[in-house]
Amino acid sequence: MLYLSTRGHAERKRFCEILLEGLAPDGGLYLPEHYPQVDDAALTRLRHTFNTQGYAALAFELLSLYIDDIPAADLKALCAKTYTQEVYGTEAIVPVRKLEDGLLVEALSNGPTLAFKDMAMQLLGNLFEYELARRGEELNIFGATSGDTGSAAEYAMRGKKGVRVFMTSPHGRMSPFQQAQMFSLMDENIHNIAIEGVFDDCQDLVKAVSNDLDFKTKYKIGTVNSINWARLLAQVVYYFAGYFQATTANSQKVSFTVPSGNFGNVCAGHVARMMGLPVDTLVAATNENDVLDEFFRTGVYRVRGSADTHETSSPSMDISKASNFERFVFDLLGRDAALTKDLFGAQISKNGKFDLSGNPHFAEAAARYGFASGKSTHANRLATIQDVHKRFGEMIDTHTADGVKVAREHLKAGVPMIVLETALPIKFAATIVEALGQEPHRPAKFEGIEALPKRVQVMKADVAQIKAYIAKHCDHA
């Protein structure tokens, strides 16, 4: 299996090369040359594997379709090491539960940091350690987080040999719990940098550093953001696991609603659907930062500036530049790399937007690729949290509430709708208290976390300053 850049770079690479690289040399994102196809017989075999051997075995089977430069026995061991009941607190790893008629919730938040990012990040940590040991190399991970990626990455990488993490986040814009999860880590290989700005400023810094090929090579810069294909690939697995739990036969279809800011989580659903998973509709649920909803409604992808990026009660989706969206648009346009490069390079830089409303491919977003979308506001969020608690006795977090609200608008008779739960309510306690007048359950291991000492560096959104900080901490190591 070889991987190509969405912007047309001539070079093709294998999995372990792009695992440590992040962005392609031309600023594009990596995708496989083709999506392996899962026919009815293969789907039956995968269903049996999941039902009899569990999530880790399913992960191995699916990852093997994309990874041929890690020996099978090693990859199997990495999956078995990653997806355990000890780490996720449940044998099912991603249990699916019924919320109401036609609407199910897939729990992706049972990992160490109580957010869906753990599902991929725990595997990524083990893959990095394995490959770096095999090469005798080190890696400096430079990332950006709007809330959950950072803590998931840091908990997955802390103490890992050969890995340092430099994680940027928007200063003061994450929930107190999210900040405490990250900033209370004292491991020497973890560096937290709070950027004076919004998440998109952090993401721009990551892309700027990744595009400086000399610096990237000298300091061995890699990424754990969802621009890393390995992370997105790991997320494909739970779409299959959700499908198998919601159906009994391959003739049945399901739909998924995915709270979405950076388009990574729902992009994994797109990959699963392209492989042949019987998915009817993929619904992207946004908050007030509705860049993706606007595109699927109008064909216009319009990036907002920092001043127009709203600070909301579902902060992990306070994003106006959806990094992974380029992967889907590349597929949507028939894998036209030159046009993709023009849209995400020249047109975004010049106009801050592009318009596909007149492009015949735009209609295929819904018709051929199954995409739909919707938007949820703070008032919707509160109402959904209140409704779910009152009717079902369940607390859901703010992002999952966005998903439930939008999912209810896209239900089809006879097609189960699975909402991907993105985090546990404790991560956004203030809004839960606002909605319900009571504190959400807090796992014992996180008691008093907000009061712990914090280790964080506040900086301006300045590329030169960031590079100097990384260089200093690598050169002195």
Q: What is the pLDDT of residues 34-72, one digit of tens each?
A: 999 999 999 999 999 999 999 999 999 999 999 999 999
Instruction: Give the pLDDT mean for 383-400.
Output: 97
Q: Does residue 310 carry a pLDDT above 60? A: yes
Q: 208 lies in a domain?
A: no
**Domain range holding 307?**
96-113+229-436
pLDDT given for residue 457 in this prediction? 97
pLDDT given for residue 316 in this prediction? 85
4 close to 31: Cβ distance less than 8 angstroms: yes
Per-residue pLDDT band at 460 (split at 50, 70, 90): very high
Whole-number Å distance between alpha carbons of 17 and 211: 17
Q: Select from 295, 461, 435 the least CA-distant residue to 375.
A: 295
324-353: b (≥16 Cβ within 10 Å) or e = bbbbbbbbbbeebbebbbebbeebbeeeeb
Whole-number Å distance between alpha carbons of 397 and 276: 31
**Count of positions (residues) in the chain:** 477
Residues 6+ apart with CB under 8 A from 416: 102, 103, 104, 246, 247, 252, 254, 255
Q: 220 lies in a domain?
A: no
Q: 469 lies in a domain?
A: no
Whole-number Å distance between alpha carbons of 426 and 386: 16
pLDDT given for residue 383 in this prediction? 98
pLDDT given for residue 475 in this prediction? 77
Q: 290 lies in a domain?
A: yes
pLDDT given for residue 318 in this prediction? 86
Q: Does residue 329 carry a pLDDT above 60? A: yes
| Residue positions annotated with a catalytic role | 117
Q: 270 lies in a domain?
A: yes
Helix (H/G/I), strand (E/B), else coil: 356 = coil
Whole-number Å distance between alpha carbons of 209 and 450: 31
Residues 6+ apart with CB under 8 A from 141: 128, 153, 157, 163, 164, 165, 166, 167, 221, 222, 223, 224
Give the domain CATH number at 249.
3.40.50.1100
Per-residue pLDDT band at 76 (split at 50, 70, 90): very high
Whole-number Å distance between alpha carbons of 423 and 48: 29
Q: 221 lies in a domain?
A: no
pLDDT given for residue 20 in this prediction? 86
Between strands 103-107 and 96-100, the pairing is antiparallel
pLDDT given for residue 93 in this prediction? 98
Q: 458 lies in a domain?
A: no
pLDDT given for residue 98 in this prediction? 97
Q: Does residue 147 carry a pLDDT above 80? A: no
* Mean pLDDT, the chain, whole residue set: 95
Residues 6+ apart with CB under 8 A from 86: none
Whole-number Å distance between alpha carbons of 168 and 143: 6
Q: Does residue 89 carry a pLDDT above 60? A: yes
Q: What is the pLDDT of residues 162-201, one digit of tens each?
A: 999 999 999 999 989 999 999 999 999 999 999 999 988 9
Phi, psi of 174 (to 5 degrees): -95, 165
1 close to 15: Cβ distance less than 8 angstroms: yes
Please, what is the Cα angle at 444 between 440 and 447, to 5 degrees? 75
Which structure tokens are listed for 52? 């009899």
Q: What is the pLDDT of residues 202-247, one digit of tens each?
A: 989 998 998 898 999 999 998 887 789 999 999 999 999 999 999 9
How far is CA 279 from its chain centroid? 19
Whole-number Å distance between alpha carbons of 203 and 169: 9
Q: 109 lies in a domain?
A: yes
Instruction: Give the total number of structural domains in the chain.
Output: 1
pLDDT given for residue 477 in this prediction? 56
Count CB-CB contacts under 10 A for residue 386. 14
Predicted TM-score (pTM) of this structure? 0.94
